[in-house]
Structure formats: C-alpha cells, structure tokens
Structure 1
Amino acid sequence: MRRKLKNKTVPTKMYKKMEKQIFNEISESIKIIEKTTSLIPEISIAVKMIVNAIKTGNKIIIFGNGGSAADAQHIAAELIGRFQKERKSYPALALTTDSSVITSLGNDYSFDVIFSRQCESLVVKNDVVVGISTSGNSINVIKGLETAKENGATTISLVGNKGGKMKDVSDVTIIIDSESTAKIQEAQRIIYHIICKFVEEKISET
C-alpha cells in the first residue's frame, strides 16, 4: 500500500515506524527545552552581563568547537547585525573564523591553545567571554575562559552534561540537562536567541 505526500508516493509500511521515531525525537526535544525554564535566573544574569559590557564600551567574545563554533559565529552575527530590532551594531567577535590564526596556533603550539592564545591579546578587562561546549570539558575552551578571566573578563558557559569542568571556570554557567549532543545544541540555540532578544530590548530601553 502506498500513500501520496505532497506529490510524492511513499511506501506506508517503510515509513510508519520512522514517523513514530520522529515523533519521539520531537517529544524528547520538547521535554528538554521545557526543563530550561529552571535556567531563567542564569539566562537573566547573562543578559545583564552582556548589556553592561556593551554599555561600557566593551565587547563580547565567543568560541567553541565544531557545532559550537557555528553557534559562536551565529551569536556574533546576531549581535553585530541585528536580531529583531534596528539598532547600532554591538561589538562581538567569534574566535573560530580566522583559519590562518587557528591553523598556525594548532601547528606551532597545540590545538589546546587556539582560543587562549587569542584571548591573551584580544580580551581586556570587563569584556564578556562566552564559551560553548556540549560536554563542558573541551580543553581549548577551558583554557580560553581561564585566560579571559586572567585578563579581567567575566565569563559565561553554555554547556550540557552537568557542566563538566567549565562550570568551575565560569562566572555564569547555563547547563542543559541532557547528555545528547544534538539535544543540548537545540536547547542552547533557543537560549542564545533569548539572550540576543533581551540584550537588544534592554539596550534599546536606555
């Protein structure tokens, strides 16, 4: 038996089980996202930190590996460009975009220092530095946060898996209650969109 779906004919038996699995995946994502309501205090503090930094002429620096690198660039783009409001550009920088810097540091030193070495020269007192990791244990992200703190920055971590080691080197840690990399990333994207929304709103109020 076959059925039509948007002008495509698909075998019903083949896809019936998969459709149930898709439903379960969506349901699981919803459950994890619903649990992030417990993180409202941490999200609110992160918004205040970023707003204060921008108001005082400081910048936001973000980094992570793999999918988290893409998220770092996404956040920087929302701040430099716009999220929902027409407004002045906010100073933000993702440390994951310069392939020459990253590969030279990885080659000449170690992949472990690709963020800390950049933080050493780019981060100044009262900047806000955001580290992203689903495990919370990415060595290069931890080292970057440590160097940022040494330079006088305040630090935010977006993590999963109970926070890992990053929770010990961050001023604010936003921990997604999941061990699934994909589910953690899904929830993190909702959270940083919320942060960008309220950063815009709070700065626009003044």
Structure 2
Amino acid sequence: MLNILKDELNSHINTYAKINEEFLNDIYKAYEIISKALKNNNKLLIFGNGGSAADAQHFAAELSGRYKVERKGLSAIALSTDTSALTAIANDYGYEFVFSRQVQAIAKKGDILFGISTSGSSKNVLEAFKEGEKLACVNIMLSSNKATNDKYFNIKAPSLDTPRIQEVHIFVIHSICHLLDLEFKV
C-alpha cells in the first residue's frame, strides 16, 4: 500500500516538474485579464462539471470571501451552485445549455467566463463560451493536454491523467487568487 502512495506522489511531482515558464506566463496573463475586468466593475463567472464544478465553487468562494489577506470581496459567481436553475435548464433545454442560459441571463460585455474542463471538450462549457462571444465577454479555459480546442485562451495542465490535471487546476486557481489578493489588498 505504501508503494501505491509513493507512486501517486511521484506522479504528482512529475506533473509539476513539467510546469514551465510559458505555463506560468499563461497564469499571469489570466490574472491580468481578470484583474482588469474586476477593476472595471465586471464579474467573473466560473463553471465546470463534477470536480471542475467543485473547483469553480472553490475559486468563487476564495474571491468573494478571501484567500490569504484582507481585501474587498471580488465579484465571482460559480454557475454550478444553483440546483434549481441547473435542473430547470437541463430539463427544458438540455444539459449542454446549463451554463450558456445562465451566461445569457447575467453576463454583460467585459465579464470574464472562466470554464474548467479536464478534457477541454465539455459541451456545456463550450456552449457558454459561444454565448459569451455574443455578449463580448472574455473566455478563459482551464483544461489539459487532452484539450484540442484552441479557440479560447486556454491554460492547459501538463498531464493526461484526470487527478493530476485537477491538482494543477487548483494550483492555477490559488495562484490567481494570490495575485488578486496582492492587487486588491486593503
């Protein structure tokens, strides 16, 4: 059993060893885009499925609450939290539209859509991005090396293994939160 844990740790370490300066620059670019939008009184709409939905909620909570330091609350909403909206939209329109309908309802020009998808091909995430384009929102995707869609600004975790991808996604989210903490601290 200990060998299994060592293998998991080594897999984690090997994935993080693949993070390079280009990847870090992508995180910084995402931070700059988000910071500028928040300063312009725009909001961050975050969404994904399964573990990515949990990551979206985590990200929104860190921003509307706080990450490490005292600062004003930042406008961030996880679109995966309203079960009534999710189930009504899925029932009436189809699951592929659970995020795009919410984007249509609450997004405005200049808002940031932050879609999280380990595959990079979740239909409901891509539909939300299509809706965001119509509204002149900025689309940022957090995905992996599995992703083949390069239409959107895409921060790709350097792995094909879902647990490692999700671990890197949390690193990206926490890194952006840390930079925003520094930017907006009181």
TM-score normalised to structure 1 length: 0.86
Question: Where in structure 1 do 4 or more consecutive aligned residues deviate above 6 Å?
Answer: none
Matched, 1:60 2:41: no
Q: Give the C-alpha shift of residue 121 in structure 1.
A: 1.5
**1:123–1:151 contact (8 Å) kept in structure 2:** yes
C-alpha contact (below 8 Å) 1:130/1:155 kept by paired residues? yes
Instruction: Give distance in 2, aligned partners of 1:134 and 1:47.
Output: 20
1:195 equivalent in structure 2: 176
Does residue 32 of the first structure (1) align with residue 15 of the second (2)?
yes
State the percentage of identical aligned residues.
Answer: 38
Q: 1:128 aligns with which of 98, 106, 112?
A: 112
Conservation of the 8 A alpha-carbon contact between 1:162 and 1:176: no
Q: 1:101 aligns with which of 72, 85, 89?
A: 85
| Aligned-partner residue type, residue 50 of structure 2 | G
Normalization by structure 2: what TM-score? 0.95
Question: 1:98-122: CA deviations, max 9, x gaps?
Answer: 0000000111110000001111111
Q: What letter is aligned with 2:165?
A: I
What secondary structure sits across from 2:155 in the alignment?
Answer: strand
Q: Tell me which of the two structures has the higher relative contact order, counting C-alpha pairs closer than 8 angstroms and 6 or more residues apart.
A: 2
Structure 1: 5+ residue stretches without partners: 1-17
Look up the match of 1:75: 59
Q: Which runs of 5+ in 2 are unaligned?
A: none
Residue 28 of structure 2 is matched in structure 1 by 44
- One-letter amino acid of the counterpart of residue 154, structure 2: T
The amino acid that maps onto 1:118 is Q
Post-superposition shift, 1:149?
Answer: 1.8
CA drift at 1:150 = 1.4
What is the CA distance between 1:179 and its match in structure 2? 1.2
1:181 aligns with 2:165: no
